Amino acid sequence: MSENDKLKKRAAEILKRLEKEYPAAKCHLEFRNPFELLVSTILSAQCTDARVNMIMTPLYENKYKSPDDILADGLENFRENIKSCNFFNNKAKSVLAICNILKKDYNGKVPDSLEELTKLPGIGRKSANVILGNCFGKKDVIIVDTHFKRVTGRLGLTDNDEPEKIEADLKKLIPPAKQYVFSHVIGDHGRYVCGARKPKCGVCVLNDVCPSDSLKK
């Protein structure tokens, strides 16, 4: 068996176990449509999803239902409303710029392709894949966030540090129809068990297939 085949077999076992462990795995940002997720994804950079939800959920409900609403409110008001978010000044500018582009070029709608999404200021491949997977039903997306990068590295599924290379590595191991699900269950495992500082290897359902299991050291 080739090394790649061994990795595919391990990845399949990991996915099987984590799907059972996290059957309700999903995006932790609260949203009702692509526009809300697009804005929240921008705000979530270096900020917790919980904080973004606390800020934006009432604003989406009562104030910001479309790009026009944010543009009408203006940069100063929008910035004031999100000031408890890390780097709120730059993020406010990015959101306003995106709202202008959506209004001008997309009739106020969020585009549904990786190529178009990554043209928007502040939207990289990770953010685009979040939107494509959660709002447009794309299954063949790998979402490389900090949890995904850490956990897949510890599991020996990639030895790369760059998000695009990690994405490419995992696309070779996970079937297209399962890539979106894999991203979420890996993310939840990173949140709840495989933490950055103190991974809970003693209770981990993957400790017998993980080359980084601290119990073996």
What CATH number is given to the structural domain containing 89?
1.10.340.30
- CATH number of residue 194's parent domain: 1.10.1670.10
Residue 208 tokens, joined: 């017998």
Domain finish residue from 135, 158, 177: 135
Listed in sequence order, the residues at least 6 apart from 161 whose beta carbon sits closer than 8 Å to its beta carbon are 149
pLDDT at 5: 82
pLDDT at 215: 55
Tally of domains in the chain: 2
Domain finish residue from 106, 135, 164: 135
Closest by CA to 12, choosing from 146, 188, 211, 157, is: 157
pLDDT at 212: 86
CA distance 190 to 133: 19
- Separation of CA 86 from chain center: 17
Domain finish residue from 117, 135, 153: 135
The whole domain housing 204 covers: 3-25+141-216
Q: Domain check: are 160 and 210 in the same one?
A: yes
pLDDT at 122: 87
CA distance 129 to 140: 9
pLDDT at 50: 95
Q: Domain check: are 151 and 202 in the same one?
A: yes
Q: Which residues of the chain have pLDDT under 70?
A: 213-217
pLDDT at 2: 80
pLDDT at 18: 98
Residues catalogued as catalytic: 126, 145
Look up residue 127 and give its amino acid.
Answer: S
